[in-house]
Chains A and B, each alone.
Chain A
Amino acid sequence: MDFVVQLTINSIIAGSIYTLMALGFNLTYGATKFFNLAHGVMATIAGYTVFYFSSQPLYISIPAGIFAAGLVGYVLDRTIYSPLRKRKASNMVLLVASLGVFTALESLIALKFSSQHQSLPEIFASVPTFNLFGGSFTAIHLLIVASAAVCALGLHALLKYTLFGKAINAVSDDEEVSKIVGINTNRLMGQVFFVGSAIAGVAGILVGFDTVIIPIMGMPLLLKGIIAAIIGGLGSLWGGVLGAFLLGFVENFGIWHISGEWKDVIAFGLLILFLIFRPQGILKKS
């Protein structure tokens, strides 16, 4: 019984991390309609920025990390994706370009900080551990779940109640018409990239506090985020959250009787099942 409780807790923690990745991915996908493979490396950038500012207090280094991820996302859109979009490049071209961005940035980080893993400074003097129905989790895990909730609700409010959010929705629905009604779509895309990348940055920093940071952490995070987004319904905020938790649960309960190394196989198996039987995801975007 304790085992089931622990697996449930692990699933919720994993689901929260995937939620953060899926939120940002869905946001940029909704506006630009291409698979931005460089999204994962934004998490890495944020984690390493916090590491770089290790000597500074956390209330400086954490916002700096989130801001750095957002800024890199913004700059990438301005310098690479936006010119490509203007040239009416196909989604494949954008996908391959983002693959190039991912490869180059990941290796740049490895070049600067070595390819070994690093530890972030302690967030708590001694990490408090909690027990619940026989399962245990740390304060950092609590922070992960809380951050995912805050980001999901915050993004929901942003999209629903602000003019900026409404403009994003408009662009996601139809870019051409948005232009006609006077939305500066090009500038808006840059801002969307900033917000989406910053949320990925939150995920990267939290993973760093929970375990370690390593230059190659971006790709696995991104893939889980994409899987969550697709099985939830691409472009839909709450679909992504649902997909993330479904993925977290299936992955963690899937390895109940087998070795944990099979997690990735299970995750992609789930994706392929969805692609065959329900390619539009759990929540069809209305």
Chain B
Amino acid sequence: MDYIFHLTTLSSIFAILAIGLNLVMGYTGLLSVAHAAFYGIGAYASAILMRSQGMNFFVAMGLGVLLSMGVALLIGLVLSRFDGDYYALASLGFNVIVFGIMLNWEELTRGPLGIPGIGKPKLGDHTIFSNMEYFFFTLFFLIIIYLLARLITRSSFGRTLKGIREDETALQVFGYKTVYFKLAVFVIAAGMAAVAGSLYGSYITYIDPKTFIVMESIMIISMIILGGLANNRGAVIGATFFVLLPELLRFAGFPPDIAAHMRQIVYGVLLILLMMYRPQGLFGEYKL
């Protein structure tokens, strides 16, 4: 039972990541390969604040979200000038740079050693410790993020994003400053990723730079492509599938290191097949 709650907690964390990225990729049509960077910034910021300043989880998470959004604002100012392949490549570059900083700024991040012993969140006097409690705690955040994403995508702001995706020039003709919209959605998504990062660090109690590599960004992209672009429910389903798949492979009796490679092969083949036969994903409303 504990194990099931472990999996559902991880699924919820990745669902938060997927929902955030879906706003950028599915609704606005920008292929961002930097999502794991903001996930990492959130995780590192709250872990460091909790450990060195003894801060409360919620305060640390809030500051992590703010930091992540601030960084996203700076990066986004550059990124919003691009679209298509160049957007993908430049955002990938930022992921590599953020990873490099996590790995090399040892005074702050302890480099490749990572940060162990991250505290659990406290509600009043009660520490959220068991897997079951942590799952409901994470689910609470997932629901908030989900509702927030729904609110955004159904608002006029969300419709403008879809407009940018379909025809950016046309919107510019109508007088929309599309750069600001692209920037805003990027910053919002980075904030959501930071929430996931704080939850992840506190749940696993240990983080290291390897968790936030480019491959992780690619995995989140795969999740929303599978679940369906521009569909919030699809993002949750895609994230759940990608968390459960390696467990299924393990149950099928593959040893862990072989299962890890098998998982990657399945991801890869899945991406190819989706692109060839269903580029909008399972429940998607938008084709790349």
Query: Which residues of A come within 8 Å of B, CB atoms?
Result: 34-35, 80, 83-84, 89-97, 99-108, 110-111, 115, 219, 223, 226, 230, 259, 261-262, 264-265, 268-269, 271-272, 275-276, 279
Given A111-B258, A115-B257, A269-B97, the answer on whether A101 and B268 have CB atoms closer than 8 Å is yes
Find the B residue at minimum CB distance from A97: B275
Contact across chains for A100 and B97 when beta carbons are under 8 A apart: no
Which residues of chain A come closer than 8 Å to B214, judged between CB atoms? 219
Find the A residue at minimum CB distance from B29: A92
- Cβ of B171 within 8 Å of any chain A Cβ, yes or no, is no
Given A95-B85, A268-B97, the answer on whether A103 and B288 have CB atoms closer than 8 Å is no
User: A34 contacts which of B85, B257, B269 (Cβ < 8 Å)?
Assistant: B85
Given A91-B84, A100-B272, A107-B268, the answer on whether A35 and B89 have CB atoms closer than 8 Å is yes
Find the B residue at minimum CB distance from A103: B268
Which residues of chain B come closer than 8 Å to A107, judged between CB atoms? 261-265, 268
Which residues of chain A come closer than 8 Å to B271, judged between CB atoms? 96-97, 99-100, 103
Contact across chains for A80 and B272 when beta carbons are under 8 A apart: yes
Contact across chains for A111 and B265 when beta carbons are under 8 A apart: yes
User: B267 contacts which of A35, A100, A271 (Cβ < 8 Å)?
Assistant: A100
Which residues of chain B come closer than 8 Å to A111, judged between CB atoms? 258, 261-262, 265
**Cα of A49 to Cα of B270 in the assembled complex, Å:** 26
Contact across chains for A265 and B265 when beta carbons are under 8 A apart: no
Given A111-B262, A265-B101, the answer on whether A100 and B275 have CB atoms closer than 8 Å is yes
Which residues of chain B come closer than 8 Å to A230, judged between CB atoms? 89
Contact across chains for A93 and B265 when beta carbons are under 8 A apart: no
- Cβ of B70 within 8 Å of any chain A Cβ, yes or no, is no
**Cα of A70 to Cα of B264 in the assembled complex, Å:** 23
Contact across chains for A83 and B276 when beta carbons are under 8 A apart: yes
Which residues of chain A come closer than 8 Å to B265, judged between CB atoms? 103-104, 107-108, 111
Contact across chains for A84 and B288 when beta carbons are under 8 A apart: no
Which residues of chain A come closer than 8 Å to B279, judged between CB atoms? 89, 93
User: A104 contacts which of B96, B272, B288 (Cβ < 8 Å)?
Assistant: B272
Closest CB in chain A relative to B112 CB, distance in Å? 9
Complex A-B: 30 CB contacts under 8 Å = A84-B275, A92-B84, A97-B275, A97-B276, A99-B268, A100-B268, A100-B270, A101-B268, A103-B268, A104-B264, A104-B268, A104-B272, A107-B261, A107-B263, A107-B268, A108-B265, A111-B258, A111-B261, A115-B261, A219-B214, A259-B104, A261-B103, A264-B96, A265-B100, A268-B97, A269-B93, A269-B97, A271-B90, A272-B94, A275-B78
Closest CB in chain B relative to A227 CB, distance in Å? 8
Given A35-B88, A279-B86, the answer on whether A96 and B264 have CB atoms closer than 8 Å is no
- Cβ of B210 within 8 Å of any chain A Cβ, yes or no, is no
Which residues of chain B come closer than 8 Å to A271, judged between CB atoms? 89-90, 93
Contact across chains for A265 and B97 when beta carbons are under 8 A apart: yes
Which residues of chain B come closer than 8 Å to A262, judged between CB atoms? 100, 104
**Cα of A105 to Cα of B261 in the assembled complex, Å:** 10
- Cβ of B82 within 8 Å of any chain A Cβ, yes or no, is yes
- Cβ of B81 within 8 Å of any chain A Cβ, yes or no, is yes
